[in-house]
Amino acid sequence: MSANPQEAASTEQILSEKTGSIGWIIFNRPERHNAVSYEMWTAIPKMLDAFEADEEVRIVILKGNGGRAFVSGADISQFEEKRSSEEATKIYNAATDAATTRLSLFSKPTIAMIDGYCIGGGCSIAISCDFRIASAKSTFAIPAAKLGLGYAFAGVRKLMDLVGPSYTKEIFYSARQFSAEEAHMMGLVNRVVPEDELNDYVGSFASRIAVNAPMTIHAVKVSVEEGLKDPEQRDASRVDKLIADCFASSDYQEGRKAFMEKRPPEFRGR
CB 187 within 8 A of CB 168: no
> Do 112 and 234 reside in the same domain of the chain?
no
> Do 134 and 101 reside in the same domain of the chain?
yes
Domain range spanning residue 256? 214-260
The domain tally of the chain equals 2
CB 131 within 8 A of CB 162: no
pTM: 0.91
The helix or strand, by DSSP H or E, that contains position 198, with its residue range, turns out to be helix 198-210
Which candidate, 93, 95, 108, places its Cα nearest to that of 45?
Answer: 95
Q: CB 71: neighbour CB atoms within 10 A?
A: 28
> Do 201 and 219 reside in the same domain of the chain?
no
Q: Which residue has the higher pLDDT, 9 or 97?
A: 97
Q: Which residue has the higher pLDDT, 39 or 84?
A: 39
Read off the pLDDT of residues 131-151 as tens digits, 9 standing for 90 and up.
Answer: 999 999 999 999 999 988 888
Least confident of 87-101, 168-182, 224-238: 87-101
Q: What percent of the chain has pLDDT over 70?
A: 92
> Do 204 and 223 reside in the same domain of the chain?
no
- 111: phi then psi, degrees, rounded to nearest 5: -130, 130
CB 132 within 8 A of CB 163: no
Read off the pLDDT of residues 61-100 as tens digits, 9 standing for 90 and up.
Answer: 999 999 999 999 877 666 655 555 577 678 888 899 999 9
Stretch 168-188: mean pLDDT, rounded? 98
> Do 124 and 227 reside in the same domain of the chain?
no
Q: CB 8: neighbour CB atoms within 10 A?
A: 12
Map residue 21 onto helix, strand or coil.
coil
Read off the pLDDT of residues 180-201 as tens digits, 9 standing for 90 and up.
Answer: 999 999 999 999 999 999 999 9
Measuring CA to CA, how many Å separate 71 from each of 55, 134, 166, 241, 263?
Answer: 28, 12, 25, 37, 41
CB 144 within 8 A of CB 172: yes
Which candidate, 184, 154, 186, places its Cα nearest to that of 170?
Answer: 186
Domain membership flag for residue 28: yes
CA 60, 163, 205 angle in degrees (round to 5)?
30
Domain membership flag for residue 182: yes
Per-residue confidence (pLDDT) for residue 90, from 0 to 100: 82
* CA distance linking residue 152 with residue 44, whole number of Å: 19
CB 213 within 8 A of CB 246: yes
> Do 44 and 152 reside in the same domain of the chain?
yes
